[in-house]
Amino acid sequence: MTSSTIRPVEPGIRRARRGAVWRSRLTILAFLAPGLIGLSIFFVYPLLANFYYSFTRYNLVNPAQFIGLANYQFMFDGDRQIGDALRNTVVFCLVSVPTTLVFALGIAAVLARIRSGAGFYRTLFYLPTLLPPAATAVAFAFILNPGTGPVNAILRSLGLPQPLWFDDPDTSQLSLLMLMTWGVGNTIVIFLAAINEVPLEQLEAAQLDGAGPFRRFWSITVPSISPVLLFATITGVIGSLQLFSQPYIVSTVVGGSTQIGYPQNSLLFFTQVLYQQGFRYFNMGYAAALSMALFAATLIITIGMIAATRKSVYSEESS
Please, which of residues 244-283 interact with another protein by CB under 8 A? 244-245, 248-249, 252-253, 256-257, 271, 274-275, 278-279
The answer to whether 70 contacts another protein (rule: CB under 8 A) is: no
Q: Binding another protein by CB under 8 A: which of 11, 12, 63, 117?
A: 117
Within 298-317, the residues that bind another protein by CB under 8 A are: 298, 302
Q: Tell me the C-alpha distance between 272 and 251, whole Å.
A: 11
Could you tell me the smallest distance in angstroms from the CB atom of residue 278 to another protein?
6
The nearest distance, CB 83 to another protein, in angstroms, is 19
**Residue 10: closest CA among 27, 28, 26, 23:** 23
Interface pick for another protein out of 99, 295, 301, 306 (rule CB under 8 A): 295
Q: Find the shortest distance in angstroms from Cβ 184 to another protein.
A: 9
How would you class 270 by CB atoms within 10 Å of its CB: exposed for 0-12, middle for 13-18, buried for 19 or more? buried
67 binds another protein (CB under 8 A): no
Smallest distance, another protein to C-beta of residue 8, A: 8
Torsion, Cα of 38, 238, 247, 45 (10° steps): -30
CA angle 262, 267, 268 (to 5 degrees): 95
What span, in angstroms and rounded, lies between the C-alpha atoms of 124 and 185? Answer: 8
Residue 204 found at the interface with another protein (CB under 8 A):
no
CB of 237 to another protein, least distance (A): 11
When binding is defined by CB under 8 A, the residue of 70, 118, 222, 305 that contacts another protein is: 118
Q: Does 294 bind another protein (CB under 8 A)?
A: yes
User: 73 to 112, contacts with another protein by CB under 8 A?
Assistant: 107, 110-111
Total number of residues that touch another protein (CB under 8 A): 117
CA atoms 140, 141, 142, 143: torsion sign: positive
| Secondary-structure breakdown of the chain: helix, strand, coil percentages, each rounded to the nearest 5 | 65, 0, 35
Q: How far is the CB of 6 from another protein (least distance, A)?
A: 5
94, 124, 160, 300: residue in contact with another protein (rule CB under 8 A):
124
Helix/strand/coil for 260: coil
Per CB under 8 A, 71 contacts another protein: no
Residue 63, number of CB atoms within 10 A of its CB? 8
Nearer to another protein, 86 or 189 (CB): 189
Based on the shown chain and the rule CB under 8 A, indicate whether residue 160 belongs to the binding site for another protein: no
Question: DSSP label at 165?
Answer: G
**Which one of residues 73, 83, 197, 205 is an interface residue with another protein (CB under 8 A)?**
197
User: Between residue 14 and residue 33, which ones bind another protein under the rule CB under 8 A?
Assistant: 17-20, 23-25, 27-28, 30-33
CA 125 to CA 132: how far, in whole Å? 15
Angle at 298 between CA 103 and CA 270, to 5 degrees: 80
- Closest listed residue to residue 109, CA positions, set 18, 101, 151, 97: 101
When the beta carbons of 129 and 264 are compared against another protein, the nearer one is 129
Distance of CA 145 to the CA centre of its chain: 27
Q: Please state at what angle helix 270-279 crosses helix 245-255, rounded to 10 degrees.
A: 80
- Supply the minimum distance, in Å, between the C-beta of residue 290 and another protein: 8
Q: Binding residue for another protein (CB under 8 A) from 71, 88, 96, 145? A: 145
